[in-house]
Structure 1
C-alpha cells in the first residue's frame, strides 16, 4: 500500500505538476480575455478558472480534461449581463449548474451526444466571428457595438479613425501569436498567449505608448451574493436551460474528443456532467463565469504529459495563487492586447478542419445555417435553426428509397429496393414500379430495414396488378421478412431491424436467426456444425447439385490461393469465387517457405508442385490480412509465440519478411507498423515462390502470374499488393520505387506508415 502511494505521488510530481504549470500559463490570459468578451468583471474569468480546475477537476469524470471559462459561452453571458446585470447572471449560472447536476444524477449525459457536431461547430464558428468583430473595434481604439452586423457596418469608419499606439500594440500581439508556432520547440514551451501579452506589456512600458490598461478594481474583496433575475420568469428559465445545455454539451463533446488524445482511463460522461454542475453552482455563487470543458486547455494538458486529474486541480491552485499574490501584474497588460488575443482566438474558432469533416458527411448546410443564423439572429435561435435542419436531413436520409432495375441474360427483370420503406417514400416507389413493363418476369429484392403499412399497401397492390396482367413477381427479402409477415396478416416488428441477413450462408453463426426450436446460446460448436450441415442440405444443396455433379469428374481450378488460417478470411467470399475455382492452401501467416529453408516443410511445397505441374493453374495468389497475429509474433521476435515451440519454429519462415520490412521502413516502430509488415509479408512470399525453379520458369515465360492481395478486415476491403520485383523488371527503377509506383488497389488503402506514404 505504501509503495503504491509513493509511486502515485512520484508520478504526480513527474508528470502532472509540470503539465499543470503549462495549463496555468495558457489559462490565465485566456480567462482574462473571455471575461472581457463576456462583458463580465475580469476577475470573474480567474474565479471560473480556479473553480473549473479545482472543483470540476476533482469531481468530473475525465482524468485529463481541463474546465474553465469557455469562449463559446461568451455570447450568451454578454447578452445576459446586458439584460439582467452581472449579479443576476451569476444566479443564472448557479441555477444552470443545478440543472446539470440533476441531469448527471439521472444519467442523461449520453443524450447530449445526440446533438449534431455540425451544429456545435457552426455555433462555435459564429461565436468566433462575433468575438473577432467586436474585439477588432477595441484593437482599433474604439468600442464594440451590440451586434455583429452593427460591428461590421461600423468597421470602415473605425478604420478611418485609427488610434496609433492602440493599433500598434494590437498588431504586435497578433504578430507574436501568429509567428510563435514557427519558432524552435524549446522556445514554444512558453504558451503563445502568455508570450504575446508579455511582449505587448514590455513594449508599451519601454516606449511609453498611450494605451488603455486592464482595470482590476472589481476585485474579489467586493464580492456580493448573486441575486434573482428580475423580469419574465419564462425567459429566465429559458436562459438557465440555455446555459446548462450549451455548457453541458460543450463539456461532454470535449470529453469525448479528449478521450481520443490519450490512452488512459476513459471518461464517465454522467460523472463529468455532475462535476460540471457542481462547478457551475460554485462559480455562480462566487461571482465567476460559467464553466465548461475546453479543448484548448485540455489538449495542452495531454500534450504536456498529464496522467491524472491532479494536473487540472493544480492548475486551478496556481491560478488562485497568481490572483492573490501577483494579480497586480495584470494591470500592466494593455486592454488592446487582450482584445487582439480575442480576435486571434475568434478567427481560430472558424476551424477549416471541422468544415472538411462535416463536408464528408453532407452536413455543410447544417454548419452554414447554424453559423449564419447565430450571427444574424442570436445564439438560441441559431442553434434551434441548425438542429431543425439537421433533423430534416436525418429524416430525409432515413426515408430515402433507391430502386435499381436491370435485365439479366435470361430476360428477367431484377428490381432491387433499398432503404427504409415508409409513407414518405411511397411516391418514388410507385413511380418506379409503374415503369416496369407489363407482363415482365420480375425478381424483386427487398434490401430494406423497415416497412410501414402505407409502403406495404403500395407494394402489394402493384404486385397483384402486375400478376393480374400476366407478369410474375418473385420476392426475396434480404433482411427481416417485412413483406411476408404483412401479407400473411402477422404482426411486424415495432422498430427498425439491425442490418443483418438471416438465412444467408456467408454470415457467421452468431449473426443468423435461429429456428424457434433451438434455445439461444445452448448449442455448442459441434451442434452448430450439424445444424449448418442440415441447413446446407435443406437450402443450398438443391441449388448447387448440378455444379458439383459436373465437378465430380475432375477439378480444373485456375488459381492457387495461399492465405492465412485466420477464421475471418473467407477466400470464396472476398474473391466472389465458387466451387472449383480456387486450389487453396492455408497456414499461419500465409507463409511460403523458401526452397531449402529450415525447418523443412513439404505441405506447402507439395501444393505448389501439384498446382503448377498437375493442375496447371495460371495464377498463384498470396493473400494477407490486417492485424495478422503471425506477423505480430514475427515483429516481436517470437516473444508473442510464448510457450508454443511449433509456432516459434514455423514463424522463422517470416524472418525474410521482417528483414524486408526493416529495409523499407527502418528499425523504428510506429503505430501502423504491424499492418505495413502484413503487406510486406505478402510481397516477400511472392519472392519466396520465385525460389522454386519451376515457378520462376513459368513466371519468366509468361505462363504463370503471381498476385498479392491484402484484406483489410475492419473495412472489408481487398487491396492489390504488387510484387517486389515484377516478372519483367522496370528498367532503372529500384525495388522501393517499384513497390510505391505500382501500388494498385481495389478501393482506397489505409495510409499507414512511411511505406504507405511512399
Structure 2
C-alpha cells in the first residue's frame, strides 16, 4: 500500500514537472533549429525523441535531453557542407559511436575533460549565436562569421530599423523583466511568454514581420542519406558530434545530480541512452541530442521525482505538434532570433568564470572561448584542451626552491613539488647562489625525481662538499635521492605524500636534529621554537592547502568543552582535523550555570558564539580520569591550597559534587574520584541546558549534547549517557559550598 501511494505521489509530481518542461522545450527547440540552419521540425523531433528514448533508456532519473544550443554551430556547418539529410546520417552514426563507447564503459573518461574547456566552448557558442541573431533582431541579416558579425554590429545598431526590430526588442524586454514579476505570473516559462506576447503584439499592431514557415506536412519523413565527400572529414564529423554531445550530456547529468536527492546517474547507461536517442533522431530527421542543463534544472525545480517526467514531456511535445502545430506559424522569426540571442548571452555565465578562476584555469576558458568565436568550434576546443594539458603538466612538474639563511651562516634549503628536468634550471640557480663552504640543511619535500634532477642535485652536493661545506639531506617522503645515490631502482610513478612519522609523540620521545645541542654552550633552545621550525619544515607543506581553504572562514560542526589537562589532546582522541572542533578548555571542563556566581563570561561567550554564529550541531563535554579539579572538590577545597582563583572557580562544580553525593555507586571499582569525573560530565550537560539558546536548539532537534570520558591509562574514550530531554533540571539538592 505504501509503495503504491509513493508511486502515485511521484507520478503526480512528475506530471506537473513534465508540463513545465514541455512549455520550456517547445520554444527552445524551435530556436535551436533556427540557429542550426535545420528545418524547424528537426528541433521538435529531437525534443520528442530526447524525452521519450533518452528518458526511458538513459541513466539519469531527472535529466532532460533534446536539441542543445552547444551543438548548433557544428550542425550548421554540417548542413552547409553535406546537406540536411546527410547531416541526419552523421547524427545516426554518432549515436552508434556513443552506443559502442557506452558498451565499453568509457563514460568516466569524459569526466577527465576540463570543465574550463566545456564552459569556454559553450560561452563561445553563445557569443557566436548571439552575434548572428542580433542582426536578425535589429532587422538585418547575419554575416558569414562571428568576427564579421561583430564588425558590422555598430552599423546595424545605428541604422534604420523596421517593425522586425520592434518585435525582437519586445521579446528581449519580456525575457529581461520576467524574473521580477510575481511568482503566480512566473508559472508560465519566460521563453513561452516572450514568444506569445511578441506574436500578440505583432498581430494587434499589424507589424510587418516574417513569420515561421512550415512545410505542408510538419513531420514529413525523408530517410537520411550517406554524406558525400572525403571519408576522413565525415569520420571526423561523426566523432565530433558523438564526443561533444556525449561529454555535454555526462557533465550535465553530474551537475543535475547535485540538485536532487534521488538516485545517482549511471554514466555508462546514460551514454548508451544518448546513443539510442541520436540513432532514432537521425533516422527520423531530428537534430543531434544531448542532455540540456536548462531543461534538466527546470525539471528538478518543478518537482520531478522519476524519469517519467522526462518521458511525458516528450509525449506532450508530440501531442502539441500533431494537434496544435499550426500555431507555430504565428511566431515571428524575429522573436525566435531574439530568444536565441538571449539564450546565447546566458551561455556566457560569470558563475563559470568564477569557478575556473578559483582553480587557475581562466586562460583555458578564455582561449577556448576566443578559439570558438574566431576560428570555429572544433579548433577552439582543441586549443583549449591543449592549453589545459600544458597547464596540468606545468602544475604536475612544478618545483619550489626556497633558501633561508639561519644563525652562524647556515643555509636551510627546502625543495618542494616534482623534481624533473623542467625544474633543473631553477634548482641550479638557487643552489649555485649558496656561498661555498657553508653548512646546508636540505629538505626534499618532493613526490618524484627524475634522473636529470638527481644528477644536478648530486653534482652540486659533491662540489659543495669539496669546497669545505656540508650538506645534510632530509627526505620527508620516499627516499628518491637516497635510492638514486645508492644505485637502486627508482619508483615507476609518483607516490602520495605521507605525514611525518610519530608526529603525535611528546617532545621527550622524539629525536630532532640539533634540538639537544645548545649553540656555543648557550641555553638550550626552546622546545616550542624547535617544534615550530619542525612544523614549517615537515608538516606545513602537507597541510598548507587545507589551511589556505580554511583561511576564508571557519565552519566547525562541534563545540568541544574539555579540561585544560595537558594529557587531553582533543584532535587526537577524536581523530579530527583543522576546522572541525571549536574548543573551550578550562580547569575541570566546567560549564557555569546561567547566572551562577562567580560570574564567568568566557564559557558563556564561547557557547553563544558557537550556537548563534557558527551554527554548531553538537556540543560535547569531555572529562577524564584522575582530574585534579574533581580531586579538589572531593577534598572540600583543601587541595586548592592558597589559590583563591582556583577555589572560586571550583564553586561551579558544586552541583557535580551534590549529584555525586546523591547518586548510588554503579558497582565499578574505579573509585570515588573517577566516578565523580563521570558524574561531572553529566552535570555539565545539564548546566548547558540552563542557557536559553542551547535549550531551544536542543528542543528543536538542531543541537545534540554528548558526554565523553577519556580514560588516560587505557587511552580509551567512553560515551556517557545523555540526560533525557525535557525541562532543564533544577537543582536537585542544595549544593555543598567549598570554604572561601
How far off is 1:181 after superposition?
A: 0.5
Counterpart pick for 1:309 among 299, 307, 310: 307
How far off is 1:155 after superposition?
A: 2.9
Is 1:592 aligned with 2:591? yes
Partner of 2:432: 434
Q: Give the Cα separation in 2 of the matches to 1:443 and 1:542.
A: 11
Partner of 1:515: none
Residues 674 and 288 of structure 1, relative CA distance in 2, 3 Å threshold: farther
Q: Residues 375-418 of structure 1: CA distance to partner in whole angstroms, max 9, x if unpaired?
A: 11111111111111111111111111111111334543211000
Partner of 2:292: 294
Partner of 1:700: none
Q: Give the Cα separation in 2 of the matches to 1:177 and 1:262.
A: 27
Partner of 1:652: 686
Q: Give the Cα separation in 1 of the matches to 2:447 and 2:622.
A: 53
Task: State whether residues 561 and 583 of structure 1, in contact with CA within 8 Å, keep that contact through their aligned partners in structure 2.
Answer: no
Counterpart pick for 1:26 among 20, 24, 27: 24
The CA RMSD measured in Å over matched residues stands at 4.1
Partner of 2:199: 201
Partner of 1:370: 368
1:569-718 matched pairs, under 5 angstroms: 592-594=591-593, 606=630, 651-656=685-690, 659=693
Partner of 2:352: 354
Structure 1 unaligned runs (5+)? 507-531, 552-557, 576-581, 621-643, 676-691, 698-758
Structure 2 unaligned runs (5+)? 528-562, 599-620, 634-638, 650-677, 706-734
How far off is 1:607 after superposition?
A: 8.6
Task: State whether residues 41 and 218 of structure 1, in contact with CA within 8 Å, keep that contact through their aligned partners in structure 2.
Answer: no
Counterpart pick for 1:155 among 146, 150, 153: 153
Partner of 2:715: none
Q: Give the Cα separation in 1 of the matches to 2:640 and 2:87.
A: 81
Residues 21 and 604 of structure 1, relative CA distance in 2, 3 Å threshold: farther
Partner of 1:403: 401
Q: Give the Cα separation in 1 of the matches to 2:206 and 2:584.
A: 87
How far off is 1:152 after superposition?
A: 2.3
Residues 600 and 433 of structure 1, relative CA distance in 2, 3 Å threshold: closer
Task: State whether residues 45 and 284 of structure 2, in contact with CA within 8 Å, keep that contact through their aligned partners in structure 1.
Answer: yes
How far off is 1:271 after superposition?
A: 1.3
Residues 320 and 571 of structure 1, relative CA distance in 2, 3 Å threshold: closer
Task: State whether residues 137 and 164 of structure 2, in contact with CA within 8 Å, keep that contact through their aligned partners in structure 1.
Answer: yes
1:122-271 matched pairs, under 5 angstroms: 122-159=120-157, 161-217=159-215, 219-271=217-269
Q: Give the Cα separation in 1 of the matches to 2:50 and 2:178.
A: 27
Q: Residues 131-181 of structure 1: CA distance to partner in whole angstroms, max 9, x if unpaired?
A: 011111211223222211222233344345544211111000000000000
Q: Give the Cα separation in 1 of the matches to 2:699 and 2:179.
A: 30
Q: Give the Cα separation in 1 of the matches to 2:13 and 2:684.
A: 43
Partner of 2:61: 63
Larger-gyration structure (1/2): 2
| Total equivalences in the alignment | 607
Q: Residues 679-713 of structure 1: CA distance to partner in whole angstroms, max 9, x if unpaired?
A: xxxxxxxxxxxxx9x9xx9xxxxxxxxxxxxxxxx
Counterpart pick for 2:282 among 273, 281, 284: 284
Q: Give the Cα separation in 1 of the matches to 2:684 and 2:412.
A: 50
- Given the two structures, how large is their TM-score scaled by the length of structure 1? 0.73
Task: State whether residues 562 and 584 of structure 1, in contact with CA within 8 Å, keep that contact through their aligned partners in structure 2.
Answer: no
How far off is 1:660 after superposition?
A: 5.4
Residues 214 and 573 of structure 1, relative CA distance in 2, 3 Å threshold: closer
1:518-529 matched pairs, under 5 angstroms: none
Partner of 2:7: 9
How far off is 1:308 after superposition?
A: 1.2
Q: Alignment partner of 1:186: what SS? A: coil
How far off is 1:219 after superposition?
A: 4.0
Deviates more, 1:649-658 or 1:52-61: 649-658
How far off is 1:126 after superposition?
A: 0.9
How far off is 1:301 after superposition?
A: 0.9
How far off is 1:192 after superposition?
A: 0.4
Q: Give the Cα separation in 2 of the matches to 1:297 and 1:199.
A: 22
- Given the two structures, how large is their TM-score scaled by the length of structure 2? 0.74
Counterpart pick for 2:91 among 93, 110, 120: 93
Q: Residues 25-46 of structure 1: CA distance to partner in whole angstroms, max 9, x if unpaired?
A: 1111101100110000111111
Partner of 1:491: 489
Task: State whether residues 126 and 348 of structure 2, in contact with CA within 8 Å, keep that contact through their aligned partners in structure 1.
Answer: yes
Partner of 1:678: none
Q: Alignment partner of 1:187: what SS? A: coil
Q: Give the Cα separation in 2 of the matches to 1:457 and 1:433.
A: 13
Partner of 1:393: 391
Q: Give the Cα separation in 1 of the matches to 2:290 and 2:681.
A: 53
Residues 408 and 559 of structure 1, relative CA distance in 2, 3 Å threshold: farther
